Amino acid sequence: EDQVTQSPEALRLQEGESSSLNCSYTVSGLRGLFWYRQDPGKGPEFLFTLYSAGEEKEKERLKATLTKKESFLHITAPKPEDSATYLCAVRVHGGSQGNLIFGKGTKLSVKP
């Protein structure tokens, strides 16, 4: 069974304290790994798509990396406005085009 697990469930950081969020996956065949940011009361906001091991993508203070078993979302010198829930999802071979399998997310809190 295709599965996505995110850790930790919650993470509290001080402003400027860099850290990483983990997304491990067990899938039959990976077509893409997606990262989203979700603020309370809003829909997920697209951040990145990664396709192959070794791939990296960056956006402001965020950098996503991918291996054959997991992905990391690195947050460098976070600010309070980075506080949100970060979701990881995979698209698998044989699945319907829009079927992303999501993890439960990591809730990040950044204190000033």
CA distance 50 to 21: 15
Least Cβ distance, residue 23 to another protein (angstroms): 12
Least Cβ distance, residue 112 to another protein (angstroms): 27
C-alpha distances (whole Å) from 53 to each of 13, 30, 46, 108 are 28, 10, 20, 25
| Closer residue to another protein (CB): 4 or 110 | 4
| Closer residue to another protein (CB): 6 or 65 | 6
Alpha helices in the chain (DSSP H): none
| Closer residue to another protein (CB): 14 or 42 | 42
Interior angle at CA 92, CA 76 and CA 52, nearest 5: 45
Least Cβ distance, residue 102 to another protein (angstroms): 4
C-alpha distances (whole Å) from 52 to each of 31, 93, 94 are 9, 14, 17
| Closer residue to another protein (CB): 30 or 78 | 30
Chain residues binding another protein by CB under 8 A are 4, 32, 34, 36, 41-46, 49, 87, 89, 96-105
